[in-house]
A and B are shown apart, each in its own frame.
Chain A
């Protein structure tokens, strides 16, 4: 065996974590890394043993086969950034931006790497360092300043609802001229908007009492506080109303705190942790109000919000005032499917002769590990056939606001999803997240595929209450 000191032999480089740029060297002194992760998060990067078992779980790697677009590769890049061994060049940032934060890799990882904390912390550090076009800035402004505020969103919706009302919406959607004139992200937003909805979305009441038939010894089984969601409460308020009635039937007193705000997920995923923490504090105050009896459960019907609520404990861990309550809020958070299974609803009355398939929202399946509950509830419906969907837990490309930020990859993933849905022969796809619903529906419409995407709550509602309108 030879050694590196043998003079007759040339030593070849290409070793260690160096790329020749930003690498700490004795002469220049170590560069301060651009990304400075806290030790706990950095530790989680180290827990990756580079086995590669996450690769097939990752939607972007599945699409393009690039190691840098796999979880293992991204962890390697993030570790390189944190070690100051590489710089956040355009291509490095692109690979990190292309991550959906769907957390499928966490389900696949045998070593328990908490990937999302790592990518979110890195994104927080990189925020502000990337170049953005005017359109990007506008879209970002909409993300952070309109979406999370139901009142603003309602106003923003008004012109679109007007056009829909007078019947011009199909023209607006189809107009090739408009499509060419507008930036892609704006087109995408318009395409995702459900083609009809009320001009004025009414708020829910603050309290709905439990139905007698669900109570035990005349007493409600639980007090449940409902998070209505910001986009959800404007575009999918009917799902909230249906949820309320299902919960009433299950014997729950339902409260809808007026002071609740956006869960903060949009900001959190965008690396704006301070803003997210602000929303979290407001919600802790709204849901676990120190002057009132605390609810037994905090329920939501939107996978992304649910995952965020379950993060509050971690997000506000250092907050002496809100921390303990945030922890409790996280512990008591339930997706509605989860809670309905826990409360053991009686079998639904109405038969439904329908063939449906179920798409796992990432933030239900991977972030909250809710996989069986929705399937069990759907299978409890007489006559309903649940057809398994291939790659059911692979991201549809919605991923919060990802489909607006990365339209190409989002479209590719949606097409993959729709292809699998088509091969089930079902015309109805059920999914527990508004983002997924809008993504799959709008892409199916674009492709001319006949498909109706609906929330499991809506199907259950029909199975329990038939054509009865949900409560005001």
Chain B
């Protein structure tokens, strides 16, 4: 490392010397997020504690012409919090105050670094919760959830992050502090700015404070589980349930490979010969749930489901969801590295999509297992590989690309909930026509005319290109950054 960047001392005066890191050894751990294929080292990491500090930090970075890259807990799966071009990470991990909980008006005000589950924990005993439940909810921040418009298991019925955000405070890439809301009032006037920032992946502004909707926790549940000899029948059940006018809280599916992996690791007692497992839950008014469940069981039976089990026992329910939530862990036990893909396809196309994804895996000689939000048509093929084998890294990236291109072809999208980040940037022009991309670009420029914040993520940049598919000698999986 060359001598310290002059911005570092200035940043230290803004946030205090304890709230900045610039020692190369300490920066190492910030070179990637939850998508370790993309790597890039920041010039520094700053830990502001207030919105005013964020504003000051951003003004300093502008002055020194350094890229601003926001980061929450770094659990993102698309490389959205990776720094290229010697930028500076502005992390919210010390902005963790839950500032207000207003039960009568059903909202909470939190700093961006508050963890998703921390809010629900703070509401314990009140009968309320913060509904969006990404698998990372114990670790990921609400600010980060907003940036990627995070989904989760319950989102089929209860909606994704944007449906639960009432207002935002954010800092523009010139240091201006903005907010879309004052107090608990409903602001239906003008363009919906929070919705625009939700899913912008930190490319428009840095979110600092969130007015979150809090809702009563569903009190009554029925949980359903069945296995199938074919994924086709399982997927058909999903489509038929929705077609019957029932909206479950969640409909989750595992394929044969995943059932085997989960069984091997945790011994839940699932039949390992099954080709698919469907886990479904309904919530609502106790009296109507049994009738609804009857209909679901009938639909499942007509689709050749086996071992059907439905229950209202909270213990059994917890057990079954454990199996679902531990699925990723089970994969970790059979492969050192894995890449979880994320795409949405029309529900009715699920059976053929699953078959095609399997075939593509064979083509690249990579094993794929599946566990996914079937109700949303949100697939998560998990590709197993070895991070230290450059060829396999290449194959994973190419396989991802072909899977996603195929999903676009059948009328799907390149991401359901993980975001585009740096990982899927090169697919944006396949997903959208030039006019749409241009509109995105103009929106970006309205917030960030000089492309100072998280450039070359989500929206293609004319200033910075990140190319993950080209290997660098001795650095498997590293990105090549080229500056225009």
Q: List residues of A whose CB falls within 8 A of some B CB.
A: 1-4, 6, 9-12, 14-21, 24, 43, 46-47, 49-57, 64-68, 72-73, 76-77, 80, 86-87, 89, 91-92, 95, 108-113, 390
Chain B hits for A68, CB < 8 A:
21, 26, 29
Interface stretch (choices B36-44, B204-212, B310-318): B36-44
* Contacts A14-B83, A51-B328, A110-B328 given; does A91 touch B25 at CB 8 Å: yes
A-facing residues in B71-97 (Cβ within 8 Å): 73-75, 83-86, 91, 93-94, 96
Which residues of chain B from 124 to 153 have a CB within 8 Å of any chain A CB? 136, 138-140
> Number of residue pairs across A and B with beta carbons under 8 Å?
168
Q: Is the CB of A4 within 8 A of B472?
A: yes
| Contacting residues of chain B (180-232) with chain A, CB-CB under 8 angstroms | none
Smallest Cβ-Cβ distance to A9: which chain B residue: B482
* CA distance in complex: A334, B95 (Å): 42
Complex contact A47–B27 (CB within 8 A) = no
Closest residue on chain A to residue B71 by CB atoms: A67
- B interface majority secondary structure: loop
Identify which of B121, B136, B140, B481 contacts A11 (C-beta below 8 A).
Answer: B481
26 A–B pairs (Cβ distance < 8 Å), ordered by A: A1-B467, A3-B470, A4-B470, A9-B484, A10-B483, A12-B482, A14-B83, A15-B479, A16-B475, A16-B478, A19-B24, A19-B27, A21-B24, A46-B336, A51-B136, A52-B73, A53-B136, A57-B138, A65-B47, A65-B93, A65-B96, A67-B30, A86-B25, A86-B28, A91-B23, A111-B331
Contacts of B387 in A (CB 8 A): 46
Point out the residues of chain A lying under 8 angstroms from B96, CB to CB.
Answer: 65
CB-CB under 8 A from B28, the residues of chain A are 17, 19, 76-77, 80, 86
A68 to B73, CA, bound (A): 12
Contacts of A24 in B (CB 8 A): 474
Cβ of A86: which chain B residues have Cβ within 8 Å of it?
Answer: 25, 28
Report B-chain residues with C-beta under 8 Å of the C-beta of A73.
29
Is B328 in contact with A1, judged by CB distance below 8 angstroms?
A: no
Question: A3-B482, A21-B24 are known contacts. Are A14 and B333 too (CB-CB below 8 A)?
Answer: no
Q: What residues of chain B lie closer than 8 Å to A19, measured between beta carbons?
A: 1, 24-25, 27-28, 41
**Are A112 and B333 closer than 8 Å at their CB atoms?**
yes
Min Cβ gap B468→A in Å is 10
Show the binding face of B for A, using Cβ within 8 Å.
1, 21, 23-34, 36, 39-42, 47, 73-75, 83-86, 91, 93-94, 96, 113, 115, 117-118, 121, 136, 138-140, 265, 325-326, 328-329, 331-333, 336-338, 387-388, 426, 465, 467, 470, 472, 474-484
Tell me the minimal C-beta distance from B467 to chain A in angstroms: 6
Please name 10 further chain A to chain B contacts, defined as beta carbons within 8 Å, in addition to the given A14-B39, A15-B472, A53-B136, sorted by A numbering. Answer: A2-B467, A2-B484, A9-B482, A15-B40, A49-B36, A50-B33, A56-B118, A77-B29, A110-B328, A112-B329
B1 x A112 contact (CB < 8 A): no
* A21 CB to nearest chain B CB (Å): 7
A54 to B136 alpha-carbon distance, docked (Å): 10
CB distance from B465 to the nearest CB of A (A): 5
Given A47-B332, A111-B333, CB of A15 within 8 Å of CB of B475: yes
Cα distance A370–B41 in the bound complex, in angstroms: 41
Q: List chain B residues, Cβ under 8 A from A47.
A: 332-333, 336
Task: Specify which chain B residues have a CB less than 8 angstroms from the CB of A95 in the assembled complex.
Answer: 26
Q: Are B117 and A112 in contact (CB under 8 A)?
A: no
* Distance between Cα atoms of A112 and B334 in the complex (Å): 10
Cα-based distance from A14 to B44 in the complex (angstroms): 12
A2 and B29 contacting across the interface, CB-CB below 8 Å:
no
Contacts of A53 in B (CB 8 A): 75, 136, 138-139
Contact A56 B117 (CB under 8 A): yes
